[in-house]
Structure 1
């Protein structure tokens, strides 16, 4: 008996690593692809564009990728909540536009301070999400129809707010700094160190908690490698963004990570914690996996569904704020055009299932970066907007296909 147990026990570091690799491969075979397709696509696209256009990997363009994709990533984060429920919000793009218009009017025409204007903009997003959620849940109209109607109506609301097409310039330095200024280099490294220490504390705390309760826990070697990998990735990111990228440093120095990077990182950490470590997050997954079973388990399904729409529209308001800051103005096209399609595409390409019940907040970031890389790289290579749309559409179709095939493999009898 002892000999059998000895054979089953992993032998040192090699056993721990082989067990981790084996478990990961088993999850892939079972249909749980996780972030693998998005990460693979991101690496492959970066290498391709780097080889085709060396300027793609310059410090300036690398920093531009983050500011270019930030608004779409934030809107996609909100969409993850409704997609996890198997719902959809087609109005998220124009919700961001309406909230940006409210922000611009409050700042310029009403003369409000930036914090009051930002607060009323976020409140507008919450109200829109609450209205959508109530109509979907209380009346029972499918979210596709409700949010499609809102997609059309909110365009009109934006036009009314901006006096039928007036472009409103934003002059407030605090709002403009969000997407146009950079964090000081020293502060960037301090934030990097804090992020690594926080991640290490979370991993070690989780490990100690599982050991204390007598549950199966990962090997300390695996945890150490995971922490080292995150530290290396973040350090490399901060190092590149801390390099001088100004064309004339003696006249105007340009270095440090863009402010939107820590902003997106904070949102990622907060919403990841909410989804993975709170009862609300567990209820989101439960309702998305099986709504009737969740109801019988005592979960207030209607409250969860309404809350998801409120969070989605609130994050759309944050995305509108970032877009307005980057453009230095707001016009009727803010939040329109391909904003919604790219945001939905970001969540799906990153790995969030369209069928509900499966997805993570990091999916929005990875998928958003894939779309930003395609848009940026093809722009540098001189391709037209039409070609960009075709390639992005094919990537989205491929991601949805992977999602559908993965779901089939997880269903019994398949």
Structure 2
């Protein structure tokens, strides 16, 4: 037996462990150090909106304890979901540094199309909804052509769309002006009366926790196979346990009234799906790359036009879906559908939730957090019997504060070399 075979084999260090320039997050102390460095560099993420939401809830609860009652929270989630779906599309557009000012009127026009087909022409509800969503996707495709092939700025063609689709809404409704959806039809029942049972709610929580823990363990396996330092398994277990406890308690508390509505569950599912697409797919990485620096992305071989086109299509599709769901909640479509503050609410929710107006930074969860902030403000002020003009002033002030925080953080990132 040779001397080489007698020596024990040394474990091979991970690739990122061998390079001190690479940031590794293994222990809780590593995570805290990384978090502190990000905050000092202006990378605030969603922390401002989370703290803001906590402060808003604490303020309204101190003034009106029923604000955090089970019934109030159930109602809040129900009415936040449709506008949150529209805001989800705005998040995607803002990630590219663009804007869509027409999501409100697109939602009104497509919902009117659904109502006319279903009520006036006797078509099936499923077909009417599918036509509305397809119409929304076609509108997004038209926007993509205007932007990619002709070079019209998004502000211009979406402003034109805001006006044009408001006219189309009036044209579709015609002399009727208002169409009422039958309350017993599928859409109003789905958006207003469908709730998970307690057993279904807890089963959904278990599925969510298992999917989260499973995805993180899969990441551990992939990083080990690539020779990189895997995430801390204890940290994954702690986060999974906290998620289970938090969602389980929320399910119990909402169950005191009616429980989880189908509509908020659909909204949350779309948020999670878009988050996975943005973080875990090549398309999502390309979206951030184009939003961060379009020219650099083009030189790297990314098909920039395809990315812009897909995002505009998704944005208008989400607007159409959100508009149809709003119509189901209100059980009516009128000439005011989507033409009031829908545009501003969706854009404000995306920005307040932490999506940067300068592109390249944000998350699908921005739509969820942002619309919860706005709905909390609306619900709290309504409980305090405050006039609607004050609500608009407060919403505008919160939006201005969010943009100011984003601007300050952007300067801090630039000075620290984080971009």
**TM-score of the alignment, normalized to the shorter chain, above 0.5:** yes
Asked if 2 retains the 8 angstrom alpha-carbon contact of 1:49 and 1:56, the reply is: yes
State how 1:27-42 maps to structure 2 within 5 Å.
27-42=38-53
2:252 is the counterpart of 1:239: yes
Partner of 2:303: 300
2:400 is the counterpart of 1:388: no
Partner of 1:88: 99
2:121 is the counterpart of 1:110: yes
Asked if 2 retains the 8 angstrom alpha-carbon contact of 1:352 and 1:358, the reply is: yes
Structure 1: tracts of 5 or more residues without a match: 1-8, 10-14, 246-254
Match of 2:179 among 168, 177, 200: 168
Asked if 2 retains the 8 angstrom alpha-carbon contact of 1:288 and 1:356, the reply is: yes
Partner of 1:147: 158
2:61 is the counterpart of 1:50: yes
Q: What SS is found at the alignment partner of 1:411? A: helix
Partner of 1:330: 333
What does the per-residue CA deviation read over 1:23-56, in whole Å, with 9 as the maximum and x for residues that have no partner? 1111111111111011101111111111100111
Deviation at 1:234, TM superposition (A): 1.2
Asked if 2 retains the 8 angstrom alpha-carbon contact of 1:177 and 1:259, the reply is: no
Partner of 1:409: 412
Partner of 2:227: 214
Partner of 1:268: 271
Deviation at 1:409, TM superposition (A): 1.3
What is the root-mean-square deviation of aligned Cα atoms in Å?
Answer: 1.8
**Higher-Rg member (1/2):** 2
When normalised by structure 2's length, the TM-score is 0.91
Q: What SS is found at the alignment partner of 1:168? A: strand
Q: Which whole-Å CA distance do the structure 2 matches of 1:165 and 1:88 have between them? A: 33
Partner of 2:377: 374
Deviation at 1:233, TM superposition (A): 1.9
* Displaced runs of 4 or more, over 2 A: none
2:219 is the counterpart of 1:225: no
Partner of 1:190: 203
Partner of 1:6: none
Match of 1:179 among 185, 191, 199: 191
Q: Which whole-Å CA distance do the structure 2 matches of 1:314 and 1:46 have between them? A: 32
State how 1:10-29 maps to structure 2 within 5 Å.
16-29=27-40
Structure 2: tracts of 5 or more residues without a match: 1-19, 21-25
